[in-house]
Amino acid sequence: MGDKVLLGIKNRARVLVFLILLVGFGSILSRLFYLHIIQGKELSERAVDQQLSDTAVSAKRGSIFDRNGNTLASSASVWKVILAPAYFENDKQREYVSEGLANILGISSSDVLEIAKKTDSYYQTVKRRIESDERDKILDFIDEISDRYERLASVIVLEEDYKRYYPYNDFAAAVIGFTGSDGQGLSGIEYQYDSYLTGTPGRIVTENDGWGTAMPFEYQQKEDAKDGNSLVLTIDETIQHFLEKYLKQGIIDYKVAEGAVAICMDVKTGEILGMAVENSFDLNDPYEIADETARKELEKLSGTQKEERTNELLAKQWRNKAISDSYYPGSVFKVITASAALEENAANLNSTYFCSGSLVPYEGEKEIRCHNTAGHGSQNFAEALCNSCNPAFMMIGQSLGPEKYWEYFQSFGFNSRTGIDLPGEATGLFFSPDGSMGPVDLAIGSFGQGVSVTPIEMVTAVSAVANGGYAVKPYIVKQILDADGNVVETTEPVIKRQVISEKTADTMAQIMEKNAAEGTAKNGYVAGYRIAGKTGTSEKIGQSRKAGQTDYIASYCGFAPADDPQIAVLVYFDTPTGEAYYGSQVAAPVFASIMSEICPYLGIEAQYTEEELEYIDTVAETYLSMGVEEAINAAKADGFEPYVCGEGDKVIAQVPQAGSKIPRGGRIVFYTTSDSTKETVRVPDLVGYTVAQVNEVAAEYNINISFSGSVDLDTVYSYAQSIAPNEIVSPGTVVTVYFGNDDVDDTVM
C-alpha cells in the first residue's frame, strides 16, 4: 500500500515537471517567435547599429563667381583633428598626447585629456577647421609620437574639412550673404541657393567589436562626399566696385545716417549688374558690428540689454535695404505718373499746367506747395516733369483718375514682389489694400508721397520705361555649374507684361534726357553721354530719429544711353543729415560719378558737344628722363601746358603722373631736382563759381581741374570738389570739380 502511494506521488511529480518543462519550452518558443518574426527587423537594425558607427564627411561647398569668373566666395581647405583614444595603453601616453595637442591648438589640456580617456572609441573630434599652420605642426607632432610610441602612430588623424572664405571681405556683402559654423547659408545668395551650393556629405562607417568598442581605422569604409554646385552671378565686379566706392564717399560727404543703396540693372534682360548696400559688413566676420558708433553704444551696455541690442544691430547690418526696405519715392515716381497719363491719353505734349507755387487738391483741403514757391507759371507736359512741379503733377494725376492710377501702379510692378532671387524681398504699400483712393491720396500719390516702394521695385519700373515698355523680372544668378564647371542650368530673361507702348516709352526717354541736360536732374548729367534721369526727395513720415525732426530720402534714377537704353541705375541715400538733403544735391552727383565710370567701361560711345570737348579729360604721357627742352616740346605737342620746377637738366618727376587723367590743355609740372619735388600749393575753395571762374582760380594756384557734370557756361555753378580747400598738394595736382544747378525736386508737404 505504501509503495503504491509512493509511486503515485512520483508519477504526479513527473507530470508536474513535464508540465513545467512544457510551459517553459512554450514560453521560450513564443519568445523566440516574437523576437525573430515580430521584432526581427528592428533587432537586426539594432545589432548593425551596435556593430557600426557612421560619421559624416563634409562636402565642399560650391563657389560663387561674378559674371566674368572672378571668385566672390569659395571654400578653402581646413582640417578636423580626430583622436583615437582606444590606442592608448596608459595615462602617461594620454597626458603626453593631450598636452601636445592642447599646446598646438590653443585649447585646454584637461579638455583634451577628457577625450583621451574614452578608451572604447577610435573616433573623437578634438577641434574642427584648423588652418594649414596648425595642421603642419600636428603632422610634425604625429611624427614625434610615432618615434616615441610606435603603437600610437594612428592615434591622431587629420580629416579634410572646408571653411567659407570671401576674398573681398565686405564686397557685395548684402547680396552674397554668409554661412554659419556648420556651413549652412544664413543670408543672401548663400541662403537662397543653399541646396545647390551644399553638395552631398560623404560617410565614414566604422565597425565595432562584440562589446560595442570601435575597431581600428583599417576596419573603416569611406564614401566620398559630392561637392556642391557653383553659381555665376549677373553681378559685374567692376560695376559693383563703382557703386560701392561712390556710395561710401557719398555717405561721408552728406553725413548719411541710415545707409545707402545703388542698383545697376540691364534694362532689357533684368540682370542685376551691381547691387551695393552701404554701410556694409565683413563677410569673413559677420558677427562683428561694423558701425563704429554702434560698437561704442554697445560698450556702455551689459547683460540682457547688450545681447538684445547686439541682435538688433546685427539684423540691421545684414539687412539688404535694396529689396527689404520700402520708402516714399518722391519725384522719381513722377516718371510713372507721366507714363501712365501719356499712355491713357490723359495728357499729351501740348497739355499745359499753371503753377502759382501751390495747389488746393479739392475744396476745403489745405494747399500743397511746390518746391518753387514763386510758381512755375504756365508750362507744358515736358516742362512740368523737368521742373518737377508738384501742382502740375497733381493736375496730371486728377486727369488720370484713381482707378487708372491704381491699375498702372500694379502693372509697373509696385505692390507685389519682383521675384528677384534673393531672400527677404518686401513689397511697397498703397493707400489701401483694394486700391481705393481719396482725393488727397491721388494728389500726393501723383508726385510720389503716400505710396511706398522698394528700391528694386523702383529701378525695375524705370527700366520698363527705358526698354520700350516691358516689365522684366530682375535676377542675380546667371548660371549654375556642377563641380566640374559644366553649366547645368541657365537663367533666361522673363518678360512679365507690356506696361506702356514703345511710343510712350520713347517719348518719356526724350523728356527724361532733356531733364538730365537742362532740368532738375541736371546734376546727374555726364558730359558726352545721353543720360535720362529724374531726382526724388521724400519725407520719412513717422520714421524720424527725433521728435519734431524731419528726415528724408534722397534718390536719383536714370538710364543710358537715352536713345538706346542699356542700363538703369538707382541711387538712394537714407537720411542725409548735412546741409544738403535733396535728391538733386545728394544723389544726383553720386549718380553722375557712377555713370561716368560705368558708361565707358561698358563701351557706350561718348558723343561730346563742341563745348564739352574743351573740358573732357585725356591721359598724361610720361616725360621722365627727358631733357627739359625735349620734355617741354613733347608736352606742348601732346596738347599740355608744361611748367618746370628746379634748375636741373632732366625731368626726374612729373605731376600728374603718366597714365593719370588730366584735362585737355591742362598743366604738367616737371621736377628737375630733388629739392623742387618738395614744392607745394594750397588747394583753393572752388565751390560756387562758373566754369570760367574755376579755370581762372585753378591757373592762379597752379592746379588742374577735371570737370564733372554739366559745363553749360551760363547756368551752372560748382557745388563740390574732390580735394577739400586748404589741403596741401603738389603743383599740377588734378582736382575734380562738380558742376550743376541749385534746383531742387519735390518738396515735403
Question: Three-state secondary structure along 487-499?
Answer: EEEECCCCEEEEC
**Cell (9 digits) for 204:** 565614414
Mean pLDDT of 281-288: 94
Look up cell 533684368; give the residue: 270
Say what the pLDDT of residue 505 is: 98
- With 0-12 / 13-18 / 19 or more C-beta atoms within 10 angstroms meaning exposed / middle / buried, residue 354 is middle
Is 331 assigned a catalytic role? yes
The dihedral through the CA atoms of 135, 136, 141, 147 has a sign that is positive
Per-residue pLDDT at 15 exceeds 60: no
- With 0-12 / 13-18 / 19 or more C-beta atoms within 10 angstroms meaning exposed / middle / buried, residue 745 is buried
Q: Three-state SS across 525-567?
A: CCCCCCCEEEEEEEECCCCCCCCCCCCEEEEEEEEECCCCCCE
CA-based nearest residue to 329, from 470, 475, 444: 444
pLDDT-based confidence at residue 515 (cuts at 50, 70, 90): very high
pLDDT tens, position by position, 104-129: 999 998 999 999 999 888 889 999 88
Mean pLDDT of 673-697: 89
Contact in structure between 282 and 290 (CB atoms under 8 Å): yes
Mean pLDDT of 301-324: 94
Residue type, 673: T
Choosing from 63, 75, 187, 331, the catalytic residue is: 331
Between 241 and 224, the more confident residue is 241
Per-residue pLDDT at 201 exceeds 90: no
Cα–Cα distance measured from residue 366 to residue 746, given in angstroms and rounded to the nearest whole number: 17
Mean pLDDT of 173-187: 93
Cα–Cα distance measured from residue 367 to residue 405, given in angstroms and rounded to the nearest whole number: 22
Say what the pLDDT of residue 749 is: 46
Distance (Å) of CA 606 to CA 493, 599, 612, 739: 28, 8, 11, 19
324-607 CATH, one of 3.40.50.300, 3.40.710.10, 3.40.50.720, 3.30.70.20: 3.40.710.10
CA-based nearest residue to 239, from 272, 213, 190, 214: 272
pTM reported for the whole predicted model: 0.82
Q: Which residues pair with 645 in a beta bridge?
A: 671
In percent, the amount of the chain with pLDDT more than 70 equals: 88
CA-based nearest residue to 73, from 218, 178, 226: 178
Contact in structure between 462 and 361 (CB atoms under 8 Å): no
**Cell (9 digits) for 672:** 628737375
Mean pLDDT of 173-186: 93
Contact in structure between 244 and 171 (CB atoms under 8 Å): yes
* Count of CB atoms situated within 10 Å of the CB of 674: 11
Between 674 and 57, the more confident residue is 674
The dihedral through the CA atoms of 715, 718, 719, 722 has a sign that is positive
Backbone angles phi, psi at 533, to 5 degrees: -160, 170
Burial 594-628, CB ≥16 within 10 A → b, else e? bbbbbbeebebeeeeeeebeebbbeebbebeebeb
Residue type, 44: S
506 in helix, strand or coil? Answer: helix
Contact in structure between 129 and 82 (CB atoms under 8 Å): no
pLDDT tens, position by position, 665-677: 888 999 999 998 8
Contact in structure between 121 and 140 (CB atoms under 8 Å): no
Question: How remote is the C-alpha of 584 from its chain's centroid?
Answer: 25
Per-residue pLDDT at 52 exceeds 80: no
Highest mean pLDDT among 198-212, 460-474, 647-661: 460-474
Say what the pLDDT of residue 715 is: 64
Cα–Cα distance measured from residue 108 to residue 130, given in angstroms and rounded to the nearest whole number: 16
Least confident of 155-164, 299-308, 462-471: 155-164
* 396 membership: H or E segment, kind and range: helix 390-400
Least confident of 138-147, 315-324, 341-350: 138-147
pLDDT tens, position by position, 534-546: 999 998 877 777 7
Averaged pLDDT score across all residues of the chain: 87
* Domain boundaries defined on the chain: 2-38, 54-233, 324-607, 612-740
pLDDT-based confidence at residue 250 (cuts at 50, 70, 90): very high
Between 603 and 120, the more confident residue is 603
Cα–Cα distance measured from residue 193 to residue 177, given in angstroms and rounded to the nearest whole number: 11
Query: Which CATH number describes the domain made up of 54-233?
Result: 3.90.1310.10
Q: Write the CB contacts of 312 (distance below 8 Å, at least 6 apart in sequence).
A: none
Mean pLDDT of 717-726: 85
pLDDT-based confidence at residue 530 (cuts at 50, 70, 90): very high
16 in helix, strand or coil? Answer: helix
According to DSSP, residue 412 is labeled T
* 628 membership: H or E segment, kind and range: helix 628-637
N-term to C-term CA, the chain: 128
Q: Write the CB contacts of 173 (distance below 8 Å, at least 6 apart in sequence).
A: 188, 277, 280, 281, 282, 283, 286
CA-based nearest residue to 705, from 725, 735, 733, 682: 735
pLDDT tens, position by position, 401-423: 999 999 999 999 999 999 999 99
Mean pLDDT of 44-59: 53
- With 0-12 / 13-18 / 19 or more C-beta atoms within 10 angstroms meaning exposed / middle / buried, residue 378 is exposed
Residue type, 513: E
Backbone angles phi, psi at 300, to 5 degrees: -90, -5
Mean pLDDT of 699-704: 89
Mean pLDDT of 182-207: 86
Contact in structure between 655 and 733 (CB atoms under 8 Å): yes
92 in helix, strand or coil? Answer: helix
Least confident of 86-90, 167-171, 264-268, 595-599: 86-90
pLDDT-based confidence at residue 685 (cuts at 50, 70, 90): very high
Say what the pLDDT of residue 160 is: 82
